[in-house]
Amino acid sequence: MINLSTTLKAKLDTRIQNNALRQLPEYNNLIDFASNDYLGFSKSEAIFNETHQYLVANSYLQNGATGSRLLSGNHRVYQVAESFIAQFHQSESALIFNSGYDANVGFFGAVPQRNDVVLFDELCHASIRDGIKMGNAKSFKFNHNDFENLEKLILKQLITQNSQLKNIYIVTESVFSMDGDTPNLEELVGLADKHNCYLVIDEAHALGVFGEKGEGLVQMLGLQARVFARIMTFGKGLGCHGAAILGSQELKQYLVNFARSFIYTTGLSPHSVATILIAYQYLESDKKNVESLCENIIHFNQQKNLLGLKPIFIRSKSAIQSAIIPGNEKVKSIAFQLQEKGFDVKAILSPTVPEGQERLRFCLHSFNSKQEIEEVLALLSTFVF
């Protein structure tokens, strides 16, 4: 077997020296405070069985898509699922991609053009950043959730670019994956309207969490008609795989023609798309999981306040609750102690987050009990103080 070059090995050695080497974790049976399976849909026997029944009843008896959607892979389940998703999210159209990563690199690599400008929140996900790098537009980051800073950047572009500037795209997330916080979307929509900007919002961690049926934060606030594009990811609240870009019919047509991550890949299998469809039908028909998750978020915030833990947590009303514990070694040690007590809580290390912002990331679920929340926070208080 041929070994790595000395350059690549040196990069790995640096990670080891910084106590920051990433490794695949072992499967465990610990109490889940780590996964993005906010509603427990990934383990739902009912969704599993109904997906199978749907495929058999409709004679979708094939294991794979067989090719790109533009060739042989556009099986009938896609049309049914995309129609349901568009209706659920009050959007003209929905276009399913193989993953949230594919959706973001496909959108940002294809939509913003040369002489356009992309202004993105500094904490946007890596998939958004990678997509922007693949495109031809100029890009600038704005301070996290700082719309005064954003407006200064907009005005600067309008002044300096003059007639060369075509379009400005503003990009943010409705729930940030590491901090769990949310921007003031009403203010942001107003700012985009004021300066005729195209607003794009990634709702990966809001689907299944915000809204009466888990529709997401944009829809909960009634802003869907004023947002150019929404990216909905299914690997979190929906408990399956894939993503969809919501927008106008024209946007869908454009992406089908120019989004490389859509064009040049085999489609999802009928089983994968049927799972998405059935999971959405559960969101539509059964509110109890969303309500239970909301209650657990409130209870977690109340308990961290009672135990004096509020100062170390980033303010969040989402299912992601992050306790800042600087230093890779220290945060890994506390995570290990919690795991020894039966709680699966993960340490997020630098360079995934900036140095000094290392953290324990608690993911809350509809299936976590109040007692589990109280116990894990009580343990955290003994390890931190």
Q: What is the mean pLDDT of residues 194-202?
A: 97
Indicate whether 256 pLDDT > 90: yes
pLDDT at 164: 73
pLDDT at 50: 98
Indicate whether 162 pLDDT > 70: no
pLDDT at 26: 84
Indicate whether 36 pLDDT > 90: yes
pLDDT at 158: 85
* Percent of the chain with pLDDT strictly greater than 70: 99
Instruction: Please say whether the beta carbons of 119 and 153 come within 8 A.
Output: yes
More confident position, 314 or 19: 314
Domains of the chain: 29-41+287-384 (3.90.1150.10), 60-285 (3.40.640.10)
Q: What is the mean pLDDT of residues 371-383?
A: 97
Q: How far apart are the first and last CA of the chain?
A: 49
Per-residue pLDDT tens digits for 277-294 = 999 999 999 899 999 999
More confident position, 338 or 20: 338
pLDDT at 269: 97
pLDDT, averaged across the chain: 96
pLDDT at 334: 97
pLDDT at 200: 98
Band (pLDDT 50/70/90 cuts) for residue 19 is confident
Per-residue pLDDT tens digits for 208-229 = 999 999 999 999 999 999 999 9
Per-residue pLDDT tens digits for 291-346 = 999 999 999 999 999 999 999 999 999 999 999 999 999 999 999 999 999 999 99
Q: What is the mean pLDDT of residues 173-179?
A: 96
Greatest alpha-carbon pair distance for the chain in Å reads 62
Band (pLDDT 50/70/90 cuts) for residue 163 is low
Indicate whether 25 pLDDT > 90: no
* pTM of the entire predicted model: 0.95
pLDDT at 161: 64
